[in-house]
């Protein structure tokens, strides 16, 4: 009656490549604008004439009042943490993402504790999800003042904004 009765250790595997660059359908010109502004250490947001809110990264339409958000605003590189998470120390072989081990591929370091945070840059109303760098995980708190950490070489790419770090050490 049924057709999948055999227990297999895993689904059949096929070798191949995944063209992640093919995900273009949502790639907005806005994101490009945001990325290129990072080259000049500028963080762009969009202003809503309906509710007066500034959203970072910019978007076309306000989520709440459905007004077009045509005006771009540069927000401060200083901000405050609105939420944070501390990961357990990263371990090799613990998990895989997109089929790769982050430690093996050198993306993350063994024993590193990651602190993803929400940051509200001054002059904006949105939470930006990024990494808190150069900080003691035990001393992080909501409301902590932070500033942007810029890449050594600025390329006009999202990687230019490496994350944020505490303002006072």
Q: What string marks each residue from 60 to 99 as x (binds other proteins by CB under 8 A) or -?
A: x--xx-----------------xxxxxxx--------xx-
Concatenated DSSP letters of the chain:
--S--S--SS---------GGG--TT--HHHHHHHHHHTTT-EEEEE-TTT--EESS--SB-TTT--B--EEEEEPSEEEEEEE--PPPP-TTS--BTTB-TTTTTSS-TTPPP-EEEEEETT--S-EEEEB-S--GGG--TT-EEEEEE-SS--SSGGGEEEEEES--
Name residues contacting other proteins, limited to 31-60 (CB under 8 A): 31-32, 34-35, 53, 55-60
- Among 11, 16, 17, 169, contact with other proteins (rule: CB under 8 A): 11
List the beta bridge partners of residue 54: 47
Any contact of residue 134 with other proteins (CB under 8 A)?
Answer: no
**If we measure between CA atoms, which residue out of 137, 126, 129 comes closest to residue 166?**
137
| CA–CA separation, 75 and 83 (whole Å) | 19
Nearest distance, CB of residue 97 and other proteins, angstroms? 6
Nearest distance, CB of residue 139 and other proteins, angstroms? 14
- Among 77, 80, 116, 147, contact with other proteins (rule: CB under 8 A): 116
Nearest distance, CB of residue 113 and other proteins, angstroms? 10
Any contact of residue 24 with other proteins (CB under 8 A)?
Answer: yes
- Among 15, 16, 17, 20, contact with other proteins (rule: CB under 8 A): 20
Residues at the contact surface with other proteins, assessed by CB under 8 A = 1-5, 7, 10-11, 20-21, 23-28, 30-32, 34-35, 53, 55-60, 63-64, 82-88, 97-98, 102, 105, 107-108, 114, 116, 118, 125-131, 142, 155-160, 162-163
């Amino acid at each position: 009656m049924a057709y999948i009765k055999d227990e297999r250790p895993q689904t059949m595997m096929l070798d191949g490549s995944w063209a992640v660059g093919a995900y273009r359908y949502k790639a907005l010109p806005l994101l490009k604008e945001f990325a290129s502004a990072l080259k000049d250490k500028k963080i762009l947001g969009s202003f809503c004439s309906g509710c007066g809110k500034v959203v970072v990264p910019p978007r076309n339409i306000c989520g709440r009042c459905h007004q077009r958000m045509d005006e771009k605003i540069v927000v401060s590189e200083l901000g405050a943490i609105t939420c944070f998470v501390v990961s357990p120390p990263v371990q090799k072989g613990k998990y895989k993402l997109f089929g790769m081990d982050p430690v093996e591929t050198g993306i993350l370091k063994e024993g590193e504790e990651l602190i993803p945070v929400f940051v509200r840059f001054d002059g904006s109303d949105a939470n930006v999800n990024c990494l808190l760098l150069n900080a003691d995980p035990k001393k992080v708190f909501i409301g902590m003042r932070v500033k942007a950490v810029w890449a050594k070489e600025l390329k006009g790419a999202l990687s230019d904004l490496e994350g944020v770090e505490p303002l006072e050490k």
